Chains A and B, each alone.
Chain A
């Protein structure tokens, strides 16, 4: 079974709006990571947040982590057409293995 589950499965917004995706996980973690996948391509790492951090920023990305609720959110501000992609959260319930959720498919409409 998947460790992480993203919500929603699909999201469609207008360019310039903010996009929020959520991730829930089941076991304790060392960190939680977010990745982007453009159609037909490999995954690209976006941001890593450690279990003792609550919020992290990188450019237009803002990630929060609530370990008490076992959940994380990824906020993309001022969305652009180039942000159209699938977004995955990943956790390592055991240090060696990175386990991915099913992803959120984000579409930015011009």
Chain B
């Protein structure tokens, strides 16, 4: 099994550009989440989904958009990139929300200049 796959691994954007970070899982997990990791801040939850067609905001949702049209995919869209969105982004999936273990992708390192 591939587990959780994120693409791309690295990306540089100019301020104001938009892009989509891809996340796919092959474990048939209902729950998927996006986190950002900044130095000294740990992981902060951006958006999460409890199943296809259902999404909700996390701790830091502003500037990001998500949708969940299939169980497998959970893309994260940056609408108009800002330098404050420079970070490492992680996608995770779990079988049953926060009551089972989470599986993480390898991360996307995003730099906004």
Do the two chains bind?
yes
Residues of A within 8 A of B (CB): 2, 30-31, 33, 35, 40-45, 48, 88, 90-92, 94-103
Whether A43 pairs with B48 at a CB distance below 8 angstroms is: no
- Across chains A and B, the number of contacting residue pairs, with CB separation under 8 Å, is 72
In the complex, which residue of chain A has the Cβ closest to the Cβ of B100? A48
Residues of B within 8 A of A (CB): 4, 31, 33, 35, 40-45, 48, 50, 56, 58-59, 90, 92, 94, 96-107
Q: A33: shortest Cβ distance to chain B, in Å?
A: 7
Q: A11: shortest Cβ distance to chain B, in Å?
A: 16
Q: A109: shortest Cβ distance to chain B, in Å?
A: 23
Contact of B102 among A40, A41, A43, A94 (CB under 8 A): A43
6 closest A-B pairs by CB: A92-B98, A42-B104, A102-B42, A45-B101, A100-B43, A96-B97
Whether A30 pairs with B42 at a CB distance below 8 angstroms is: no
Given known contacts A31-B99, A43-B90, A88-B43, is B50 in contact with A96 (CB within 8 Å)? yes
What residues of B have a CB within 8 angstroms of the CB of A91 in the complex? 98
What residues of A have a CB within 8 angstroms of the CB of B104 in the complex? 42-44
What residues of A have a CB within 8 angstroms of the CB of B56 in the complex? 96
